[in-house]
Amino acid sequence: MVLACVACATCVALAGCGDAASKAPTYAAAGNAICADEAAHLAGLHRPATIEQAVAYLPPALAILRSETSRLQALHASGSSSAKLAAALASARALAALLARLRRQLRHGMVEFSELAVVQSRAAALQAQIAARFREAGLPRCAIGRRSAD
């Protein structure tokens, strides 16, 4: 169950592209394309079934999450979309930090069962928050695969 949460929490199902003027993609189109690309990379990873596999799974999954966050950060959102995108990315960074901390603890054998339950609960809450914030930011494809906060 905990390993499923780790895998789920790192599943970043985002997609989109953007077009500002003529042939340049829009903010939404570009963002959704970024999310789709990163989701495809994440889907290519072998899902962990053991603690050892989770320790090996988290580094590439976190790299994908961080890449996606960086690429989305580079988008040129305007108006309220800019603040909403910033909020979504802040939540994504919080999830990445939580999972990185979990990886360090797992690697050093310093995680108790009660701590895993707390991480699982926090990761689920962050996923819901991220999904809601990406939808608010006009990037619904970036919310796919995440639980709704509604």
Question: Is position 113 within any domain?
Answer: yes
Token pair listed for 92: 């994504």
Question: Is position 96 within any domain?
Answer: yes
Q: Report the DSSP beta bridge partners of residue 17.
A: 29
Host domain of residue 16: 2-143
CB environment 109-123: b (16+ within 10 A), e (fewer): eebeeeebeebbebb
Distance of alpha carbon 13 from alpha carbon 134, whole angstroms: 11
DSSP tag of 44: T
The pLDDT value recorded for residue 109 is 81
* Block residue for tokens 């339950």: 117
Question: Is position 98 within any domain?
Answer: yes
pLDDT band at 145 (very low <50, low <70, confident <90, very high): low
The number of distinct structural domains making up the chain is 1
Question: Is position 150 within any domain?
Answer: no
Question: Is position 148 within any domain?
Answer: no
The pLDDT value recorded for residue 50 is 84
Distance of alpha carbon 132 from alpha carbon 140, whole angstroms: 9
Higher pLDDT, residue 147 or 15: 147
Which 3 state secondary structure label does DSSP give 15? coil
Question: Is position 115 within any domain?
Answer: yes
- Residue 125: alpha-carbon gap to chain centroid: 12
The pLDDT value recorded for residue 9 is 52
pTM as predicted: 0.77
Higher pLDDT, residue 72 or 4: 72
Residue 6 has pLDDT above 70, yes or no: no
Question: Is position 31 within any domain?
Answer: yes
Q: Among residues of the chain, what percentage have pLDDT more than 90? A: 53
Distance of alpha carbon 48 from alpha carbon 51, whole angstroms: 7
- Report the mean per-residue pLDDT for the chain: 82
pLDDT band at 148 (very low <50, low <70, confident <90, very high): very low
